[in-house]
Amino acid sequence: MQRFGELGLQVRAADALLVAAARAVEAATDDLTDNTAAEASLAVAAAKVHCATATATAAVEVAGALFEVAGTALVGSHHEVAERIAEYHRLGIDEFILSGHPHVEEAYWVGEGVLPCWPTPVCGPTPPRSPGSPTPRCPSPQGCPGDVLTRDGLWARSVNVKPRPYA
C-alpha cells in the first residue's frame, strides 16, 4: 500500500448527525463579535445545516461525512466518523491529526464514541478474545469488532497512535 502520510481534520462526532452538525456550526460562529457578521454567518450556517432538503446538505457536504464548515471537518455520528477515518486509512493515510472545539470535550467524544466504533483494527490483527470474556461496551448498533481487553480490565480498540511532541 502506498503511504500518503498524515491528514489533519476537525472532528464533530455525536450520537446523531444533526447534533454533530449543530455543534460544528456553533463552533464556527463562537468567536464572532461583530453583530452584522454574526447574524450573516448564523443565517448561512442555519441554511447549511438545515437537512430538510438535499440541496441544503449538499451545500456543505464534500463527501460522506466530510463537511466544509470553518475548515474541513468530519461531521456525523460516532459510527459515521469512524467509518470515514477507516476509509482514509485504507487509502494509505496512516497518521491522523484530529482536533475539535471545545478541545477537551471533543477529545472525550472521539475517545468514548468514535474509537469504540472503529470498523477494523488499524495496526494489524487484533488478538482474539479469550473464551468467556465479557462483551465489550459499544455504543454502535453495528457492533465493534476487534475490541481487546487491556491489563487494566478496560476494553480498548487496537489503533496505531503515535505521540507527537510539540515544538
**Dihedral pair phi/psi, residue 141, rounded to 5°:** -65, -20
Question: Tens of pLDDT along 96-125?
Answer: 777 777 777 777 777 788 877 775 554 444
Look at the alpha carbons of 5, 11, 14, 18 in this order and tell me if their dihedral is positive or negative. Answer: negative
Chain-centre distance for alpha carbon 48: 19
**Dihedral pair phi/psi, residue 114, rounded to 5°:** -80, -50
The pTM of the whole model exceeds 0.75: no
All structural domains of the chain with their residue ranges? 5-157
Mean pLDDT, rounded, for 81-93: 80
Task: Say how far apart CA 27 and CA 96 lie, in whole Å.
Answer: 21
Q: CA–CA distance from 142 to each of 17, 32, 53, 114 (Å)?
A: 16, 39, 27, 13
| pLDDT band per the 50, 70, 90 thresholds, residue 62 | very low
